[in-house]
Protein backbone atom coordinates (compact mmCIF):
# COMPACT_ATOMS: atom_id res chain seq x y z
CA UNK A 1 0.00 0.00 0.00
CA UNK A 2 2.81 2.35 0.92
CA UNK A 3 4.39 1.88 -2.47
CA UNK A 4 1.12 2.34 -4.31
CA UNK A 5 0.43 5.57 -2.44
CA UNK A 6 3.88 6.86 -3.34
CA UNK A 7 3.38 6.04 -7.01
CA UNK A 8 -0.02 7.74 -7.02
CA UNK A 9 1.41 10.81 -5.37
CA UNK A 10 4.24 10.98 -7.86
CA UNK A 11 1.71 10.73 -10.68
CA UNK A 12 -0.40 13.48 -9.19
CA UNK A 13 2.26 16.00 -8.39
CA UNK A 14 3.24 17.15 -11.88
CA UNK A 15 -0.42 17.80 -12.70
CA UNK A 16 -0.88 19.81 -9.54
CA UNK A 17 2.25 21.77 -10.20
CA UNK A 18 1.15 22.51 -13.74
CA UNK A 19 -2.43 23.58 -13.16
CA UNK A 20 -3.06 23.69 -9.46
CA UNK A 21 -6.70 22.61 -9.71
CA UNK A 22 -6.50 18.85 -10.09
CA UNK A 23 -9.13 18.16 -7.44
CA UNK A 24 -11.81 19.70 -9.62
CA UNK A 25 -11.54 16.79 -12.06
CA UNK A 26 -11.33 13.70 -9.88
CA UNK A 27 -12.37 11.36 -12.72
CA UNK A 28 -9.55 12.24 -15.03
CA UNK A 29 -6.20 10.56 -15.19
CA UNK A 30 -3.80 12.89 -13.51
CA UNK A 31 -1.35 13.93 -16.14
CA UNK A 32 -0.29 17.33 -17.27
CA UNK A 33 -2.56 18.88 -19.82
CA UNK A 34 -0.42 19.38 -22.89
CA UNK A 35 -1.06 21.75 -25.73
CA UNK A 36 -0.57 20.86 -29.35
CA UNK A 37 0.55 23.71 -31.59
CA UNK A 38 -1.01 24.34 -34.95
CA UNK A 39 1.08 23.49 -37.97
CA UNK A 40 1.24 24.21 -41.70
CA UNK A 41 -1.28 26.66 -43.13
CA UNK A 42 -3.12 26.85 -39.81
CA UNK A 43 -0.05 28.22 -38.07
CA UNK A 44 0.63 30.76 -40.83
CA UNK A 45 -2.50 32.61 -39.76
CA UNK A 46 -0.83 33.55 -36.46
CA UNK A 47 1.01 36.79 -37.04
CA UNK A 48 2.11 39.72 -34.90
CA UNK A 49 2.13 38.11 -31.44
CA UNK A 50 -1.53 38.59 -30.69
CA UNK A 51 -2.30 36.79 -27.42
CA UNK A 52 -5.67 35.24 -26.63
CA UNK A 53 -5.82 34.30 -22.97
CA UNK A 54 -8.46 32.20 -21.23
CA UNK A 55 -7.40 32.57 -17.60
CA UNK A 56 -7.53 28.83 -16.85
CA UNK A 57 -5.53 27.82 -19.94
CA UNK A 58 -3.25 30.75 -20.64
CA UNK A 59 -2.51 31.94 -24.15
CA UNK A 60 -4.26 29.56 -26.57
CA UNK A 61 -3.13 31.41 -29.71
CA UNK A 62 -2.00 29.01 -32.44
CA UNK A 63 -2.94 25.85 -30.47
CA UNK A 64 -5.64 23.21 -30.27
CA UNK A 65 -7.77 23.53 -27.16
CA UNK A 66 -6.80 20.38 -25.23
CA UNK A 67 -9.47 17.82 -24.41
CA UNK A 68 -8.21 17.28 -20.85
CA UNK A 69 -9.72 19.05 -17.83
CA UNK A 70 -12.93 19.44 -19.80
CA UNK A 71 -11.42 22.49 -21.47
CA UNK A 72 -13.49 22.06 -24.62
CA UNK A 73 -16.70 21.82 -22.65
CA UNK A 74 -15.76 24.78 -20.50
CA UNK A 75 -14.76 27.05 -23.36
CA UNK A 76 -18.16 26.31 -24.94
CA UNK A 77 -20.32 26.55 -21.84
CA UNK A 78 -18.61 28.30 -19.03
CA UNK A 79 -15.83 30.73 -19.75
CA UNK A 80 -16.41 34.35 -20.66
CA UNK A 81 -14.51 36.34 -23.25
CA UNK A 82 -10.75 35.88 -23.28
CA UNK A 83 -8.24 38.58 -22.54
CA UNK A 84 -6.67 39.74 -25.76
CA UNK A 85 -3.29 41.33 -25.63
CA UNK A 86 -1.25 43.03 -28.30
CA UNK A 87 1.94 44.40 -26.74
CA UNK A 88 2.85 46.36 -29.86
CA UNK A 89 -0.36 48.41 -29.95
CA UNK A 90 0.09 52.12 -30.46
CA UNK A 91 -1.32 54.04 -27.50
CA UNK A 92 -2.54 56.87 -29.66
CA UNK A 93 -4.48 54.62 -32.03
CA UNK A 94 -7.77 52.78 -31.95
CA UNK A 95 -8.39 49.26 -33.14
CA UNK A 96 -11.13 46.94 -34.37
CA UNK A 97 -11.08 43.37 -33.07
CA UNK A 98 -13.16 40.49 -34.34
CA UNK A 99 -13.51 36.82 -33.51
CA UNK A 100 -14.94 34.74 -36.35
CA UNK A 101 -15.46 31.09 -37.22
CA UNK A 102 -14.79 30.44 -40.92
CA UNK A 103 -15.88 26.81 -40.48
CA UNK A 104 -19.60 27.16 -39.84
CA UNK A 105 -21.17 24.69 -39.80
CA UNK A 106 -18.05 22.66 -40.71
CA UNK A 107 -14.70 23.17 -42.35
CA UNK A 108 -15.67 20.69 -45.07
CA UNK A 109 -18.81 22.65 -45.95
CA UNK A 110 -18.59 26.19 -44.58
CA UNK A 111 -21.84 27.44 -46.07
CA UNK A 112 -22.47 29.86 -43.16
CA UNK A 113 -18.98 31.39 -43.21
CA UNK A 114 -18.22 33.66 -41.41
CA UNK A 115 -19.84 33.22 -38.03
CA UNK A 116 -19.31 36.40 -36.02
CA UNK A 117 -18.50 35.63 -32.38
CA UNK A 118 -17.30 38.98 -31.15
CA UNK A 119 -16.85 42.42 -32.63
CA UNK A 120 -15.32 45.40 -30.87
CA UNK A 121 -14.48 48.80 -32.28
CA UNK A 122 -12.80 51.88 -30.80
CA UNK A 123 -10.47 49.75 -28.70
CA UNK A 124 -7.72 52.06 -27.43
CA UNK A 125 -4.17 50.87 -27.98
CA UNK A 126 -3.55 51.18 -24.23
CA UNK A 127 -6.25 48.56 -23.49
CA UNK A 128 -4.70 46.15 -25.98
CA UNK A 129 -1.32 46.55 -24.38
CA UNK A 130 -2.87 45.62 -21.02
CA UNK A 131 -5.10 42.89 -22.38
CA UNK A 132 -8.22 44.38 -20.77
CA UNK A 133 -10.56 45.29 -23.58
CA UNK A 134 -13.65 47.37 -23.35
CA UNK A 135 -14.00 49.34 -26.56
CA UNK A 136 -17.42 49.60 -28.16
CA UNK A 137 -19.25 46.29 -28.47
CA UNK A 138 -20.99 45.74 -31.82
CA UNK A 139 -21.41 42.02 -31.25
CA UNK A 140 -21.34 40.56 -27.75
CA UNK A 141 -18.94 37.68 -27.19
CA UNK A 142 -20.56 34.35 -28.09
CA UNK A 143 -18.69 31.25 -26.90
CA UNK A 144 -17.22 28.85 -29.44
CA UNK A 145 -19.76 26.02 -29.73
CA UNK A 146 -18.77 23.70 -32.58
CA UNK A 147 -21.68 21.32 -33.30
CA UNK A 148 -21.26 17.58 -32.68
CA UNK A 149 -19.44 15.66 -35.42
CA UNK A 150 -18.47 18.80 -37.33
CA UNK A 151 -14.73 18.41 -36.76
CA UNK A 152 -12.35 21.11 -35.67
CA UNK A 153 -13.40 24.72 -36.13
CA UNK A 154 -10.96 27.59 -36.40
CA UNK A 155 -11.68 30.55 -34.15
CA UNK A 156 -9.88 33.47 -35.66
CA UNK A 157 -9.02 36.75 -34.02
CA UNK A 158 -8.27 39.55 -36.40
CA UNK A 159 -7.04 42.92 -35.24
CA UNK A 160 -7.22 45.99 -37.48
CA UNK A 161 -6.12 49.55 -37.03
CA UNK A 162 -9.21 51.74 -37.08
CA UNK A 163 -9.12 54.69 -39.47
CA UNK A 164 -9.73 58.03 -37.78
CA UNK A 165 -13.18 59.60 -37.94
CA UNK A 166 -16.32 57.87 -39.14
CA UNK A 167 -18.33 55.59 -36.95
CA UNK A 168 -18.17 51.87 -37.60
CA UNK A 169 -21.50 50.09 -37.45
CA UNK A 170 -23.21 46.94 -38.57
CA UNK A 171 -25.96 47.19 -41.15
CA UNK A 172 -29.53 46.10 -40.31
CA UNK A 173 -29.11 42.73 -42.00
CA UNK A 174 -25.80 42.09 -40.30
CA UNK A 175 -27.40 42.78 -36.94
CA UNK A 176 -30.13 40.18 -37.51
CA UNK A 177 -27.77 37.25 -37.92
CA UNK A 178 -24.26 36.41 -36.79
CA UNK A 179 -23.94 33.74 -39.48
CA UNK A 180 -23.01 34.11 -43.16
CA UNK A 181 -21.32 37.37 -42.35
CA UNK A 182 -19.51 39.01 -45.21
CA UNK A 183 -16.36 39.95 -43.35
CA UNK A 184 -14.74 41.11 -46.59
CA UNK A 185 -17.45 43.66 -47.34
CA UNK A 186 -17.37 44.96 -43.76
CA UNK A 187 -13.60 45.40 -43.95
CA UNK A 188 -13.92 47.14 -47.29
CA UNK A 189 -16.82 49.39 -46.23
CA UNK A 190 -14.81 50.83 -43.35
CA UNK A 191 -11.44 50.66 -45.10
CA UNK A 192 -9.83 48.57 -42.42
CA UNK A 193 -7.20 47.16 -44.76
CA UNK A 194 -5.28 44.08 -43.66
CA UNK A 195 -5.11 42.90 -40.06
CA UNK A 196 -2.10 44.24 -38.14
CA UNK A 197 -2.11 40.98 -36.18
CA UNK A 198 -4.09 37.75 -36.18
CA UNK A 199 -4.21 34.44 -34.40
CA UNK A 200 -6.49 31.45 -34.07
CA UNK A 201 -7.21 28.43 -31.93
CA UNK A 202 -8.97 25.23 -32.91
CA UNK A 203 -11.49 23.24 -30.96
CA UNK A 204 -14.27 20.75 -31.59
CA UNK A 205 -17.38 19.53 -29.80
CA UNK A 206 -16.43 18.26 -26.36
CA UNK A 207 -17.84 14.77 -26.91
CA UNK A 208 -16.10 14.13 -30.23
C1 LIG B 1 1.48 55.94 -33.13
O2 LIG B 1 0.46 56.62 -33.83
C3 LIG B 1 0.70 58.01 -33.99
C4 LIG B 1 -0.57 58.62 -34.59
O5 LIG B 1 -0.95 57.99 -35.76
C6 LIG B 1 1.93 58.21 -34.84
O7 LIG B 1 2.19 59.58 -34.99
C8 LIG B 1 3.12 57.52 -34.16
O9 LIG B 1 4.25 57.59 -34.98
C10 LIG B 1 2.80 56.06 -33.86
N11 LIG B 1 3.85 55.50 -33.03
C12 LIG B 1 4.50 54.39 -33.39
C13 LIG B 1 5.51 53.92 -32.42
O14 LIG B 1 4.27 53.79 -34.42
Q: What is the pTM of this model?
A: 0.85
Q: Which of 86, 93, 128 to mutate to test the pocket of ligand 1 (most atoms within 8 A of CB)?
A: 93
pLDDT digits (tens, 9 = 90+) for 15-67: 333 333 334 444 455 567 788 999 999 999 999 999 999 999 999 999 999 99
**C-alpha angle 67-71-75 in degrees, rounded to nearest 5:** 130
Please tell me the distance between residue 145's alpha carbon and the centre of ligand 1 in angstroms. 38
Is the domain covering 35-203 a CATH 3.40.50.2000 domain? no
Lowest mean pLDDT among 6-20, 122-136, 178-192, 194-208: 6-20
Cβ of 92 below 6 Å from ligand 1: yes
Q: Quickly state the pLDDT bin for 148 (edges 50, 70, 90).
A: very high
Cβ of 164 below 6 Å from ligand 1: no
Atom of ligand 1 nearest to the CA of 91: 1
Phi, psi of 91, rounded to the nearest 5 degrees: -60, -25
Cβ of 90 below 6 Å from ligand 1: yes
pLDDT of residue 10: 39
Please tell me the distance between residue 91's alpha carbon and the centre of ligand 1 in angstroms. 8
Number of Cβ within 10 Å of residue 198's Cβ equals 19
Number of Cβ within 10 Å of residue 14's Cβ equals 13
DSSP 123-163: EEHHHHHHT---SEEEE------PPTTS--EEEEEEEEEPP
Is pLDDT at 3 greater than 70 in this prediction? no
Cβ of 39 below 6 Å from ligand 1: no
Domain locations along the chain: 35-203
Please tell me the distance between residue 48's alpha carbon and the centre of ligand 1 in angstroms. 17
Q: How far apart are CA 111 and CA 170, in angstroms?
A: 21
Closest C-alpha to ligand 1, atom 2: 92
pLDDT of residue 15: 38
pLDDT of residue 7: 39
Closest C-alpha to ligand 1, atom 11: 90
pLDDT digits (tens, 9 = 90+) for 59-111: 999 999 999 999 999 999 999 999 999 999 999 999 999 999 999 999 999 99
- 51-54: strand order across its sheet: 58-59, 51-54, 83-85
Amino acid sequence: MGLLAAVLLAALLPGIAARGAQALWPDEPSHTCSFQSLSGKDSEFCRGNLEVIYPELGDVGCTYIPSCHQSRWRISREWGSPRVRYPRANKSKKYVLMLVDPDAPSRANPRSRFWRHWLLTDVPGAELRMGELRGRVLTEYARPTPPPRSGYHRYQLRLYEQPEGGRIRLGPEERISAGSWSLESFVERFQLGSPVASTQFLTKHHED
